[in-house]
Homo-oligomer: A and B are copies of this chain.
Amino acid sequence: MLTVNQALGLVLENTPQKIQHLRKKLLDAQSFTLAERVVTDRDYPPFPRATMDGYALRLEDLEKENKFNLIGEIFAGDNWTQPEKIKTNSTVKIMTGAPVPECFDVVIKKEDSNNKENIVTIQSNKFKKWMNIARQGEDAEQGKLLGQQGTFIDDSFLTIAASLGYSDLYVLAPPLVSLISTGNEILPVGAPVLSHQIRESNSVTIRAMLKKFNAKIHKSWLIPDNPQMLAEKISECMNSDICIITGGVSAGEADFIPSTLKSLGVQEIFHKVMIRPGKPIWFGRKDDALFFGLPGNPVSARITFKIFVEPCIRKLLRLPAQKNYFFPILKTRTKMHDFEEYFRVKIINQDNQSYLQEIESNGSGDFINSLESEGIAIHPADKPELPQNSQTQFLFW
B325:A134 contact, CB within 8 angstroms:
no
Contact B155 A397 (CB under 8 A): yes
User: Cβ of A146: which chain B residues have Cβ within 8 Å of it?
Assistant: 368, 371
How far apart are A370's CB and chain B's nearest CB, in angstroms? 5
Considering residues A156, A190, A225, which has the most beta carbons from chain B within 10 angstroms of its beta carbon? Answer: A156
Least Cβ–Cβ distance between A363 and chain B, in angstroms: 7
CB distance from A360 to the nearest CB of B (A): 11
Is A97 within 8 A of B205, CB to CB? Answer: no
The reply to whether A76 and B254 form a contact with Cβ atoms under 8 Å apart is yes
How many copies of this chain sit in the oligomeric assembly? 2
CB of A138 within 8 A of chain B? yes
Q: Interface digits, A128-167 against B, CB 8 Å rule (1 contact, 0 not)?
A: 0000001000111000001000000011111111111111
Q: Is A204's CB within 8 Å of the partner chain B? A: yes
Q: How far, in angstroms, from A303 to B358 measured CA to CA in the complex?
A: 32
A193 to B40, CA, bound (A): 14
| Interface pair B51/A363, CB less than 8 Å apart | yes
Within 8 A of B (CB), among A325-349: 325-327, 347, 349
Q: From the candidates B77, B184, B254, name the one contacting A197 in the complex (CB within 8 A).
A: B77
- A193 to chain B: closest residue by CB: B165
Q: What is the distance, in angstroms, from A141's C-beta to the closest C-beta of chain B?
A: 10
Whether A69 is near chain B, meaning CB under 8 Å from some CB there, is: no
A211 surroundings in chain B (CB, below 8 A): 30
Check A198 against B166 for contact (C-beta < 8 Å): no
20 cross-chain CB contacts under 8 A: A26-B189, A26-B204, A40-B368, A46-B196, A47-B195, A49-B365, A53-B251, A76-B225, A76-B254, A134-B362, A139-B369, A159-B208, A162-B189, A163-B367, A167-B189, A323-B374, A325-B349, A326-B349, A326-B354, A352-B391
Give 7 nearest A-B pairs by CB, closest first. Answer: A77-B184, A77-B185, A162-B201, A167-B190, A76-B185, A162-B204, A155-B208
